[in-house]
Structure 1
C-alpha cells in the first residue's frame, strides 16, 4: 500500500458511514439558490445608494453626489482643489467623459509620468461591499485604475447593484471583458510590521462622483 493509499484509507475510515445521497445534496443547493436572500448578508441601509455610500465611506472611499454628468467636471475641480492638486488629470477616453466640458482643466487620455490623478467610469457599484466594477476595453485603459495616486470614478446611482452575485448576473448577459476589476476602497496593506501603508498596490485615494440622474 502506498502512502497515498494509506492517507485516503484513513480519510474514508474517519468519515461517517452514511453519507447524504447526491440527490439530497443537489436539492439543498437548489433550495439555497431559489431564495438567495436567506443566505445573503443584509445591507447596512434600506436604499441601495445609501447602503453603497455607507459601506464605501467605511473603507476609505470619498463620495461626491451630483445631479447629472454635466456636473462631473466641477466635482473634479472641487476634489483637486481640496487636495491642493494642479488642475490636471488623465481622462478615460470614453465618450461619456470626453464629451463633457473640461474648460480650465488640463486633460489627456494617457497618464503622464508622476501625474497623480486619473478619472474613469465605473460600470456598477455594489451596495453590499461599497465596491465598484471596472471593465477593460478599447476606450477603458486598465492602467488608469492602478497607476495614479488619486483614482476618481464616475458612477450612476441607477447602476448600484445589491450584492456581488447581482454583478455576476449582469456579466452573464454581456460579452466578457478581457479584464474585470472589483475595486473596494483605496489600496493599502498592513503586511509590513503591522503598520498601515496607503497606496501599497495601487491608488492611495479613491473618490466616487455619484451621478443622481440616469443620463
Structure 2
C-alpha cells in the first residue's frame, strides 16, 4: 500500500465512511455545480483585453508587436532576430498552428522537440493570455514542450488576439471547455515578462531563472 492510500484509509476510518456513499457523492457533485463565482478586479473586466495585455506585458519588460495575419509571423521573427544580432535558428515543438506557417519565405532554420542546452531562441504558441497582468498561459505537451519556456535566453511566443481574455477566471473557463470534464493538461505555465529576480540587494536581474528576453507576437486575425 502506498503512503497516499494509507493516509486516505486513515481519514476514512476516522470519519467512519468508505468513500462510496451515495449521499456524500451527491453532496460533492452539488457543491461543484453551485460553486460561486469569485470577485473579478475591475481591470480584469476590460472591454479591450488585447490592448491591456500589451500594456501590462510591456510594463514587465516584454516586447510586443502585432501582425494582421499569421502568414506574417516568419518574416517578423526573422526581422526581430536580425535586429538583435541573434542566430536565425529556432527551436519549437510540434504545434500544428506553427507548423502551418510559411517558413520557407524566411531564412530561418527550425529545430523540433524539447529545448536543448545550446539553444539560443525558442518559439511557442500560447494557449491563451490574461490581460489584467500581461500574462501568457502555456500548456505542456509535445506541441509546446515546457523546456522551451525556460532554457533558451530568448523566447518568442505567438498568441491570437481572440484568445486574450480579461482575467484568470475567464482563462480557467476556456481551459476547462477545451479539455472537457475530468481532463486537464499536465502543466499550465504562467509567464509574465522575461525571467527576473531582485533577491540580491534589491537589484533587478533579467534572465535569472529563464529567458532574458520575451518577445510576444499578437495575431489580430482569427485562427
Q: TM-score, normalised by structure 2?
A: 0.76
Instruction: Rate the CA distance shift 1:76–1:44 in 2: closer, same or farther, 3 A.
Output: farther
| Deviations 1:18-67, CA, capped at 9 Å, x for gaps | xxxxxxxxxxxx9x738x4xx52325964111111111111111111001
Q: How many residues align?
A: 183
Q: Which residue does the alignment assign to 1:180?
A: 188
Which of 193, 200, 205 is matched with 2:208 structurally? 200
Q: Aligned pair 1:64/2:74, yes or no?
A: no
- Structure 1 residue 120: deviation in Å? 0.6
Contact 1:92 1:118 survives alignment (8 Å): no
Q: Aligned pair 1:133/2:137, yes or no?
A: yes
The CA distance in 2 between the partners of 1:67 and 1:147, in whole Å, is 30
Query: What aligned pairs does 1:131-170 form with structure 2 within 5 A after superposition?
Result: 131-170=135-174
Q: Which residue does the alignment assign to 1:79?
A: 80
The CA distance in 1 between the partners of 2:45 and 2:158, in whole Å, is 22
Contact 2:140 2:187 survives alignment (8 Å): yes
Which consecutive residues of structure 2, in runs of 5 or more, have no partner in the other structure?
Answer: 1-33
Query: What aligned pairs does 1:111-130 form with structure 2 within 5 A after superposition?
Result: 111-130=115-134
The structure with the larger Rg is 1
| Deviations 1:132-181, CA, capped at 9 Å, x for gaps | 10001232211011111001000000000010111122223223000110
Query: What aligned pairs does 1:38-53 form with structure 2 within 5 A after superposition?
Result: 39-43=40-44, 46-53=47-54
| Deviations 1:189-210, CA, capped at 9 Å, x for gaps | 0001221111111111111110
